[in-house]
Structure 1
Amino acid sequence: MHQTPPLPPAILLMGPTASGKTACALTLARHLPVEIISVDSALVYRDMDIGTAKPSAAEQAICPHHLIDIISPEEAYSAARFCADARRLMGEISARGRIPLLVGGTMLYYKALRDGLSDLPEADPTLRREIEDAAALEGWPALHDELARLDPDAAARLEPNDAQRIQRALEIVRLTGRPLAASYAQRESSVDTHRLIPIGLTPGERAILHARIEKRFDAMLLAGFVDEVETLRRHYRLDASLPSMRCVGYRQALEYLEGRCSLATFRDKGIFATRQLAKRQITWQRNFRERWGDIQELDCLNPELEKQVLESVCARLPAV
């Protein structure tokens, strides 16, 4: 009887910001034949290095890295594009006899890769402009009222001034004629091409992670984060509505450079926004644990973390 060959392995290393993912990934790279695929919606942007905690050139030289520095800060990157890029790269890496190691904290990308994507329409530039023009004329609360008439459930989950989400919700409802819940329910099926080995880094004590976040943000400031954003403003046409400038820290830096807040306020806002991001990432990961059931969680504050990650992965890999 013909037996189907086992699927090649792929490692998922996820966790909140400042949980030590990069250090753990590089430890794996020193012991296993891995290639790293970044699962980070900020690392895709060129010239955004300090504020994204992008791995240094020396760190990237330890093993091949993918999906870093691939687009301009003026462009957008989506979960759908990530899935297409990641699946292609996973296949190519496995074909080379190596192991894909997916590392990062953009939890939506992990969810899309594992659970499939909703059958949502592509952005429609003309309709989007119409919605933006209406918002400029009437204000986002009026557009929120319109959404409440078309899709009460979606509107109930959004604040009246949540421009980005109201715009997308209205766009989807107008394009499909369906409530958002119906559109999200229609998912593309994703064929399993790899046996996934998910590792989740979770802080045993949230206060210590918060202290790490503050220390890292201050280190970014000392490393020239403000100068980096000023240089970005000179080289690219940037404003706060771009996805790149919605990355944590960059929006707050723009406010400071535009004279809308002090340096101290920028620092406080940046640290607060990063802590909020970590909180959301931890919630996502908890939901993954409940939904998937196969994540091995490790305390990211354990001094032996890198060793634990290596041992956990090796125990779940076929002999290499």
Structure 2
Amino acid sequence: MGPTATGKTALAVETAKAINGEVISVDSALIYQDMNIGTAKPSEEEKQGIPHYLIDIISPQEQYSVADFVHDTNQCITDILGRKRVPILTGGTMMYFNALHHGISNIPEADKSVRQKIQIQIEHLGLSKMHERLQAVDPQSAAKIHPNDPQRITRALEVFESTAKPLSYWQAQKTDALPFDFVNFSIVPQNRSELHLRIEKRFEQMLEQGLLAEVKHLLNKYCLDADTPSMRSVGYRQVLQYFNDELSFEQMKERSVIATRQLAKRQLTWLNAWSDAHVLYMNNPSNLEEILQKVCVSTP
């Protein structure tokens, strides 16, 4: 597990080569076909012949839930273990990792019409009033959701209006975690500024590699807009705003880098709360040896 741009893929491939492993992607953006540059999707050369799963499995206009991920991952792990190989789960989508370890809440699917109605109400009444409404119907969720978080306020109210039950009720209805023993490693930077520089450099490389052309291709090939989950991915959202004349080119670059840094910060917050993770430091050449030693100690 680790923030974006910390070298997880390369380390996973080296680990897989050393312990007869195969890689399962734990990344909510790598699932999409034709989204290669902006997701930093590993090339065949980077995979070095190691099988990778849960990459390129749906089109960018399709939906993919946490429940879908848990189901697919369960099948992948079972298949890999059945062939006497080692599953190596690698990525930065902490919500996915959390679901594997602790189960998932049976929250109903999104209702687009209800969501649109709530978004209109937010525009007319303001976020503060809508957060007050959430406090009245679901005080538990309101206590956890910041008054300036439109996405989570909208989702919580949408669930309540669609089901007549608060989001906190559904979150308490959890399925079981997967029946496997996980050995957890978190790859983190020793210096945040180093990670920030890597993020900025990588986005510049994405632009040089043709990110704008990739997004144009996606818009021509698929039925996509700003509300499509795939287009809410960091980088793609900002390029879409640039194409819609909502941002200048320089603003698009700046906001993409800022959004990626914010994503990395959220990922690190998750990791800091992960009590049983072995911490590895980014750019440390001894990481592989450390992993192999701890895997051998942890495996019966």
TM-score of the aligned structures, taking structure 2 as reference length: 0.91
> 1:185 maps to what in 2?
172
Q: Distance in 2 between matches of 1:273 and 1:125?
A: 25
Deviation at 1:164, TM superposition (A): 2.9
Tell me which of 156, 162, 165 is aligned to 1:169: 156
3-state DSSP of counterpart to 2:22: strand
Q: Which residue of 2 aligns with 1:281?
A: 267
Kindly provide the amino acid, as one letter, of the partner of residue 46 in structure 2. Answer: E
Q: Distance in 2 between matches of 1:153 and 1:316?
A: 38
1:200 aligns with 2:182: no
Give the residue type in structure 2 aligned to 1:219: Q
Letter in 1 for 2:16: A
The answer as to 2:9 corresponding to 1:22 is: yes
In structure 1, what is the Cα distance between the partners aligned to 2:126 and 2:243? 26
Mapped pair 1:304 → 2:286:
yes
Alignment counterpart, residue 63 of structure 2, candidates 59, 73, 76: 76
Structure 1 contact 116–188 (Cα < 8 Å) conserved: yes
Instruction: Give 1:253's aligned residue.
Output: 239
Q: For the Cα contact (< 8 Å) 1:27–1:310, is it kept in 2?
A: no
Greater alpha carbon shift after TM alignment, 153-162 vs 299-308: 153-162
Q: SS in structure 1 opposite 2:62?
A: coil
Q: In the alignment, which residue of structure 1 is the partner of 2:33?
A: 46
- Contact 1:119–1:186, Cα closer than 8 Å, also in 2: yes
Deviation at 1:205, TM superposition (A): 1.2
Letter of the aligned partner of 1:255 in structure 2? Q
Of 43, 53, 56 in structure 2, the residue corresponding to residue 66 of structure 1 is 53
Secondary structure of 1:109's aligned partner = helix
Which residue of the partner structure matches residue 57 of structure 1? 44
Matched position secondary structure for 1:216:
helix
Counterparts of 1:89-128 in structure 2 under 5 Å? 89-125=76-112, 127-128=114-115
Paired position in structure 1 for 2:277: 295
Give distance in 2, aligned partners of 1:197 and 1:246: 31
CA displacement at 1:216 relative to structure 2: 1.1
Aligned to 1:230: 216
- Look up the equivalent residue of 1:279 and give its one-letter code: K
Q: Deviations over 1:254-288 (max 9, x none)?
A: 11122222222111111111111111001101112
2:3–2:267: 8 Å Cα contact kept in structure 1? yes
Identical residues among aligned pairs (%): 46
Structure-2 separation of matches of 1:252 and 1:200:
28
Q: For the residues of structure 2 that align with 1:267 and 1:126, how far apart are their CA atoms?
A: 33
Partner SS state of residue 265, structure 1: helix
Contact 2:13 2:48 (8 Å CA) reproduced: no
Tell me how far apart the structure 1 counterparts of residues 135 and 258 of structure 2 sit (CA, whole Å). 31
- Structure 1 unaligned segments of length 5 or more: list them: 1-13
User: Equivalent residue for 1:243?
Assistant: 229
Matches of 2:255 and 2:178, distance apart in 1: 42
Partner AA of 2:6 in structure 1:
S
Equivalent residue letter for 2:245: G
Give the aligned residue type for 2:53. Answer: H
Preserved contact between residue 100 and residue 178 of structure 2 (Cα < 8 Å): no
* Structure 2 contact 141–156 (Cα < 8 Å) conserved: yes
Q: Kindly provide the amino acid, as one letter, of the partner of residue 12 in structure 2.
A: A
**Any idea what SS the aligned residue of 1:72 has?**
coil
Q: Compute the RMSD of aligned alpha carbons.
A: 2.2
CA offsets 1:99-153 (integer angstroms, 9 cap, x no match): 1111000000010110011132233455445545655776665544432321234
Deviation at 1:182, TM superposition (A): 3.2
Q: Secondary structure at the match of 1:196?
A: coil
